[in-house]
Amino acid sequence: MNDPEVERTFARWRRRIFFTLWVTYGAFYLCRVNMSIALPDITKEFGYSKVDVGAIGSAFFIAYALGQFVNGQLGDKLGARRLITLGIFISALLNISFGFVSALPAMVAIWGTNGYFQATGWAPSVKTLANWFPPRLRGKVSGLYGSSFQVGNILSWLLAGYLCMHYGWRYAFWTPAAIFLLLGVHFYLRCSNSPEDVGLPSIEDYEAGTCASSARDEHLGFGFTLRQTVGNPRIWYVGLAYLCLGLVSYGFLYWIPSYMSEVQGTDISDVASRAIAYPLAGSLGALVAGWASDAFFGSRRAPVVAIMSALSGTFVLLFSKVPGTSPTLATIYLGAVGFTTFGAHTTMVTAVPMDFGTRKAASSAAGFIDGLGYLGATIAGVGTGWLVDNHGWSYAIYLWAAGAFAAASVMAALWGYKPERREGYT
């Protein structure tokens, strides 16, 4: 049994770490999805095609995927505090730079580079959560943590929409960058990578009721983290499923404001306020998915992911059938897509890496899975643009729905897998 003072201190630090990570990762979206809202204005001002603006998004997604593979490994080595702080400051400076350019090649180069440094946020933060929370709590924690980027998405779209409407699209990059810089300072001052760093027992010893730590958060080497990721067949299954789900999750995230404007006839000034149904319902879906995997499936994540992915594909098809004269129904279906898509999405990139990679390789596992997912996002970027330019929006809808159904099929193969304790750590 732990000393009461250790219990209180551990609980206080858990709250502090979770809140700091939640606010910080949500803030990453201020300098990430602002592009979606600015895109219609950029397209109109410069006369770009869908393939042109799709290339901006795909450059981001490709660089983000590469960044996840690299920064996932570095996150296990360096920890979140240094790596995330570096990423915040460089990403903010790149957003400021983007607001000053007008040439398409410069936009592609800057936004692509931003993608790499945006990839410093997720994997190291998952590693930190794994250091502070045991497997029995990770489903609930992943659901709560997944709401961070949904809330960040909502605030980013609302802020960018307001700035585009009143000041022009360039301010949708400058103002969020200033806020992001301030929150980067807050993160550096408030974060601690592990309980051991502040004199507390490791999560294994704390759960066992032992005050003295016998399981330090040392890095076990890149060979170990690679074996836990590249050498783990289950990680490949999840990564493949996440790649497929990325077609719909990032396809909607990047293109839905344009779809609503062009197909459903939504006024540009109303796009942001209606489109937030997608991430808003997504935050609720993340909470429900994490809770359900612990409460009904004994911490098995695959059943929840498979079910929600299949429902996502169904709602994508239903959303496309709603005419522009029924904005309320369209918003309801958009929310249903967000609820199911991000319920599955959040579980795959939060709870699953902690379970499958253990806390010793959680960052690497999260980076590997998220990196594969952003390969799907790359297809959703320029691939969707090409389909729309050459065949119309209906083919983009079919691509997104097919991705969701494929993800459900892949995750069904892992239906019975449950996390286990290995080699003295979880």
* Domain coordinates in residue numbering, the chain: 4-412
Q: Pick the closest to residue 291 from 194, 150, 147, 155 (CA basis).
A: 147
- Amino acid identity at 153: N
Q: For residue range 391-410, what is the model confidence (pLDDT) as tens digits?
A: 999 999 999 999 999 999 99
Distance CA 337, CA 314 (A): 8
Measured CA to CA, the distance from residue 165 to residue 169 in angstroms comes to 8
Residue 381 gets which letter from DSSP? I
The pLDDT score that the predictor gives to residue 268 is 65
CA distances from 308 to 3, 25, 155, 171, 187 (A): 42, 24, 25, 37, 33
Q: At what angle do helices 233-262 and 268-275 cross, to 10 degrees?
A: 150
Please name which of 422, 400, 259 lies closest in space to residue 337, comparing C-alpha atoms.
400
User: Token pair for residue 65?
Assistant: 């995927």
DSSP 36-71: HHHHHHHHHHHT--HHHHHHHHHHHHHHHHHHHHHH
Q: What's the 3-state SS for 250-308?
A: HHHHHHHHHHHHHCCCCCHHHHHHHHCHHHHHHHHHHHHHHHHHHHCCCCCCHHHHHHH
The CATH superfamily of 4-412 is MFS general substrate transporter like domains (1.20.1250.20)
pLDDT of the residue at 424: 46
Whether residue 257 contacts residue 271, with contact meaning beta carbons closer than 8 Å, is answered with yes
Please tell me the predicted confidence (pLDDT) of residue 4.
80
Structure confidence by residue, pLDDT tens digits, 76-107: 778 889 999 999 999 999 999 999 999 999 99
Cβ contacts of residue 261 below 8 Å, gap of 6+?
Answer: 40, 267, 268, 271
| Positions in the chain whose pLDDT score sits under 70 | 1-2, 208-231, 268-269, 356-362, 419-426
Write down the pTM of the prediction. 0.77
